[in-house]
Amino acid sequence: MNERIRELAIKAGLLVETSDGWDICIDDNLEDFAELIIKECAKIASNPAPGCHSSFGKIIKEHFGVEE
């Protein structure tokens, strides 16, 4: 699993550390996880590449109904 995805999954409560490793806990936390990924994508999209004058971060969050 990608380290950043792992960090977001832990932050959302999807991955919890147990005595024998990591356990996946999927319930209401799935929506939190998706929201964290959307925010991460929007953050990246909010910093356009040099020479590009568009910022799509706000559009991405609005499309998915995610607030700041």
13-47 pLDDT, tens digit each: 888 888 888 777 776 677 788 888 888 888 888 77
What is the average pLDDT across 3-17? Answer: 82
Q: Which range marks the domain in which residue 34 is found?
A: 3-64
Separate counts of helices (H) and strands (E) for the chain? 3, 2
For residue 29 the two structure tokens come to 């936390």
Extract the tokens encoding 65: 């109904």
**For the segment 31-40, what is each residue's pLDDT rounded down to a tens digit?**
788 888 888 8
Which pLDDT band, with edges at 50, 70 and 90, does 68 fall under?
Answer: low
| Number of domains the chain contains | 1
* CA-wise closest residue to 43 among 56, 29, 27, 31: 56
So what's the pLDDT on residue 8? Answer: 84
How many angstroms separate the CA atoms of 60 and 30, rounded?
Answer: 19
